Structure 1
Amino acid sequence: MSTVETVRFKLTPGTDAEEFARLDEKVETGYMAKRPGFLSREVTRSEEGEFLVIVHWATPEDADATMQGFFGAPETQDFLAAIDKSTVVSGRYARLS
């Protein structure tokens, strides 16, 4: 059964949203899309500046394996530095159909 992960967050003060969009694209193409089981990813932003990332995985194990390496991967460091860690809320869901 496929898995959907969500992550909500705001950017660190002073981080430009356009620059963050470039960092996000780099993370998606340079890291996420290369991981086994990656199906798709979308990023949205509210009027209040909160981001919502939705990632679809083939299995929960694929999601786990990717997340275990995510925080230490060289490709993700600039992206992570732009996120206000105190605002991060994540979730994982099993797709019903």
Structure 2
Amino acid sequence: MHLAVGGLQRETGAAPTSLRSEMTTVELTRFKVAPERVEELLRTRPGMVAGFEADRAGFLQATLVRLPGDEWLDIVHWRSAEDFAASRAKGPNRPDIKAFFDTIDALVSSEEGTLA
């Protein structure tokens, strides 16, 4: 399911109560996408989320936020830091995940934290 609230786009994954765990790891990735590729980014997003749900242990949900200046913020919730690290090691290992990653022109920043 895909929800849009106040300019935020949220793809649902696991039940929202799973996000309340003190150990939930949050991945914050800021990146740039050229204006002519935005449609492709949005078109490939559901496939990327489905790929994560099928292939990434501990994936809980992802929220995509459009920022000014051709920048985007992806907020991804993981059950644990270990699950996030395992996902990162896999990279774009599936065509549905790679299609989304390929729309990204530049990585601006990437951070990891714990849900408070």
Instruction: Bin the TM-score by the shorter chain.
Output: 0.7 to 0.9
Distance 2:53 2:93 in 1: 17
- TM-score (norm: length of structure 1): 0.83
Which runs of 5 or more residues in structure 1 are unaligned? Answer: none
Matches within 5 A, 1:20-39: 20-29=41-50, 31-34=51-54, 35-39=56-60
Aligned-pair Cα RMSD in Å: 1.7
Asked whether 1:8 is paired with 2:30, we answer: yes
- TM-score (norm: length of structure 2): 0.71
Distance 1:74 1:84 in 2: 18
Which runs of 5 or more residues in structure 2 are unaligned? Answer: 1-22
Tell me if the contact between 2:48 and 2:99 (Cα under 8 Å) persists in the aligned partners: no
Identity, % of aligned positions:
33
Count of matched residue pairs: 93
Cα deviations by residue, 1:27-49 (Å, 9 ceiling, x for unpaired): 011x1122211111100101322
Matches within 5 A, 1:47-58: 47-58=68-79
Distance 2:75 2:104 in 1: 16
Higher RCO (CA-CA < 8 Å; seq separation 6+): 1
Cα deviations by residue, 1:19-66 (Å, 9 ceiling, x for unpaired): 21011111011x112221111110010132210000111100111111
Greater strand content: 2
